[in-house]
């Protein structure tokens, strides 16, 4: 279990692309009470709508941790951020990162943390001794979000469905598989940092045997046809053994993000591929619903997109942030019951 000191000061740095700040937006949206402010190095950096604070002001207001809320391509911590992170450590804040590069590998930051008695917390470091997968069918019920691409709503969909199931009276756990989800949930396994042979085993460990009526809602990663990140998707699907999958998509996205030469496959193609992979370890896996990210569409276009997606796949379609999920919940519960 990861124990983080709250509230958070979310570090935006000098990142100007909204897409690169999805960690900060996710923490703000799903752990708002834990967010004290944002720390931007330039006026042109992404503004996530929190008060602008520097580390000393945030610490004086009670902040416990500075959380790096942005993720540049490659997951490395730029040298231009070092001075700001060191400043935060000297101010008495723990530094929390979900980047691939490790905080402790920055010698001046490590020394500042030691001198100030604060922690450097890397949430993208997987636990040791992850076993290989067994494929053994586990008790309990499991829902996994999958997607036609990365960064289009798998985490938001899983969080929203976990909340909706909980409100309906179900016994449910959100199982985080990425750095943002881990910070929100307080526990999880960073799947994209696990050695490939052990991803399915990590997914089994993340969602162990449970009571027959308990739901594990598992955050998806990658995309099954992605030219770079399909590996984590396959391992996560096999190890999760989902009873139901929810397919996530952004209407209008015609190529993979940052991979313009690789077109996004159709909803039907992706759903069929994910179901084929899921049935390796759970022959009863079913598609229960499709979740659309319609944030760029007006109400009429949103309604048309939902109608088209539902018709194409023969399951309910919803947007977790703007439409009802009642039909999707009924489908999830009904399909899990067979």
pLDDT-based confidence at 270, cuts 50/70/90? very high
Beta bridge partners of 291: 248, 318
166 and 306, same structural domain?
yes
Give me the CATH number covering residue 174: 3.40.50.300
Contact (Cβ atoms closer than 8 angstroms) between residue 82 and residue 88: no
127 within domain boundaries: no
3 within domain boundaries: no
210 within domain boundaries: yes
How far are the Cα atoms of 189, 277, 302, 312 from residue 291, in angstroms, in the given order? 24, 20, 12, 13
User: According to the model, what pLDDT value does residue 225 have?
Assistant: 98
| DSSP classification of residue 52 | B
282 and 195, same structural domain?
yes
Question: What does the mean pLDDT of the chain come to?
Answer: 95
Higher pLDDT, 74 or 43: 43
User: According to the model, what pLDDT value does residue 113 have?
Assistant: 98
Boundaries of domain holding 58: 8-122
Say yes or no to pLDDT of 1 above 60. no
Residue given tokens 């996994």 in the structure block: 144
> How many separate domains does the chain show?
2
What would the pLDDT profile of 103-160 be if each residue is shown by its tens digit?
999 999 999 999 999 999 999 888 888 999 999 999 999 999 999 999 999 999 999 9
What would the pLDDT profile of 153-180 be if each residue is shown by its tens digit?
999 999 999 999 999 999 999 999 988 8
Question: Chain centroid to CA 85: how far?
Answer: 24
42 and 113, same structural domain?
yes
254 within domain boundaries: yes
Domain boundary among 122, 150, 172: 122
299 and 202, same structural domain?
yes
* Phi, psi (degrees; rounded to nearest 5) at 10: -85, 120
User: According to the model, what pLDDT value does residue 64 have?
Assistant: 96
136 within domain boundaries: no
Give me the CATH number covering residue 52: 3.40.50.720
Contact (Cβ atoms closer than 8 angstroms) between residue 237 and residue 206: no
Domain boundary among 73, 88, 122: 122
273 and 184, same structural domain?
yes
Please state the rounded mean pLDDT for residues 1-10. Answer: 84
98 and 166, same structural domain?
no
């Amino acid at each position: 279990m990861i124990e983080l000191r709250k509230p958070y000061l979310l570090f935006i740095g000098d990142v100007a692309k909204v897409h690169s700040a999805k960690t900060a937006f996710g923490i703000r949206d799903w752990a708002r009470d834990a967010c004290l402010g944002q720390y931007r190095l330039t006026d042109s950096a992404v503004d996530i709508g929190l008060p602008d604070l520097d580390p000393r002001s945030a610490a004086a207001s009670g902040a416990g941790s500075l959380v790096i809320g942005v993720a540049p391509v490659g997951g490395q911590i730029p040298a231009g951020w070092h001075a700001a992170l060191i400043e935060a450590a000297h101010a008495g804040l723990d530094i929390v990162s979900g980047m691939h590069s490790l905080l402790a590998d920055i010698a001046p930051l490590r020394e500042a943390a030691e001198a100030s008695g604060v922690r450097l917390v890397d949430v993208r470091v997987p636990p040791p001794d992850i076993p290989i997968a067994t494929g053994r069918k586990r008790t309990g019920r499991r829902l996994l979000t999958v997607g036609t691409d990365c960064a289009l709503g798998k985490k938001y969909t899983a969080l929203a469905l976990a909340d909706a199931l909980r409100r309906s009276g179900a016994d449910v756990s959100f199982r985080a598989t990425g750095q943002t989800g881990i910070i929100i949930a307080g526990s999880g396994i960073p799947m994209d940092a696990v050695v490939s042979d052990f991803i399915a085993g990590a997914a089994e460990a993340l969602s162990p045997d449970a009571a027959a009526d308990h739901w594990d809602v598992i955050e998806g990663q990658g995309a099954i046809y992605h030219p770079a990140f399909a590996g984590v998707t396959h391992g996560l699907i096999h190890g999760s053994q989902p009873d139901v999958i929810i397919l996530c998509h952004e209407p209008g996205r015609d190529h993979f993000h940052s991979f313009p030469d690789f077109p996004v496959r159709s909803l039907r193609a992706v759903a069929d591929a994910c179901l084929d992979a899921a049935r390796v370890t759970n022959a009863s896996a079913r598609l229960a619903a499709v979740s659309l990210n319609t944030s760029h569409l007006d109400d009429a276009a949103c309604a048309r997109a939902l109608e088209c997606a539902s018709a194409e796949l023969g399951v309910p379609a919803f947007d977790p942030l703007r439409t009802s999920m009642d039909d999707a919940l009924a489908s999830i519960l009904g399909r899990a019951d067979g």
